[in-house]
Amino acid sequence: MRKAEIKRSTLETAIEMKLELDGSGQCRVDLPGGFFKHMLETICRHGFFDLELRGQGDVEVDPHHLVEDCGLVLGQALRQAIGDMRDLERYASVTLPMDESLAAVHLDLSGRPCFVFRGRLSGLPVGDFPSSLLADFLQAFSSTLGAALHVEIFYGRSDHHQIEAVCKALGRALRRALAPAAVLTGQLPSCKELL
């Protein structure tokens, strides 16, 4: 089983995470705030991996530190659980509607972090989550996972629906990219034989 346990403690946040890639989408998240918790559960459910996460941070200052550090820890846990990257599909692209919104996630588990975000969110809070934090979370996640992550929000009226479309697409893209590649047997999905 591909699993990882990560703990991160700073003066701003304290996070503990257990991750199992070959799970069933079970997610237990204990964080202050509701919307971000819901989005993490959405990523897990659509990625079919199991996640336990406990975290706290200086949300009385701003939720930014906790959201960004959760991205760092999730990327680190996924990278650890993946192991040597052999036999993986590596690439995935998912375009997904959420009511009136449409978003796409393109993913390459290349070992090289790169994050591109194209979309317009209002920046206003969705519940207790400033929508501008979506890009901060995804950039942190991409950096520790070591992945090229391109996110596009084509259109939408509701920030809630646009963010949720991104999170659902991210979960499904991860599931596809992490799936075993039928034609690879003990090989890295790279001409360089190095990721």
191 located within any domain: no
Contact between 105 and 94 under an 8 Å Cβ cutoff? The reply is yes
CATH number at residue 136: 3.30.230.40
The predicted structure's pLDDT at residue 20: 97
The predicted structure's pLDDT at residue 171: 98
The predicted structure's pLDDT at residue 191: 55
Expressed as residue numbers, the domain containing 127 is 3-177
187 located within any domain: no
The predicted structure's pLDDT at residue 187: 60
Any idea what the Cα angle at residue 67 is, between residues 99 and 107, rounded to 5°? 60
Q: Compute the radius of gyration of the chain from its Cα atoms.
A: 16
171 located within any domain: yes
Match 């991996």 to its residue by tokens.
49
The count of domains in the chain is 1
Please give the Cα distance from 15 to 113 (Å, whole number).
Answer: 22
**Mean pLDDT per 10-residue interval, the chain, length 195 residues:** 95 97 94 94 97 94 94 98 89 98 97 96 92 97 98 97 98 95 62 56
185 located within any domain: no
190 located within any domain: no
| Residue of 23, 53, 68 whose CA lies nearest to 175 | 23
132 located within any domain: yes
182 located within any domain: no
The predicted structure's pLDDT at residue 184: 56
Burial class (CB in 10 A: 0-12, 13-18, 19+), 185: exposed
The predicted structure's pLDDT at residue 188: 58
Match 């995804």 to its residue by tokens.
138
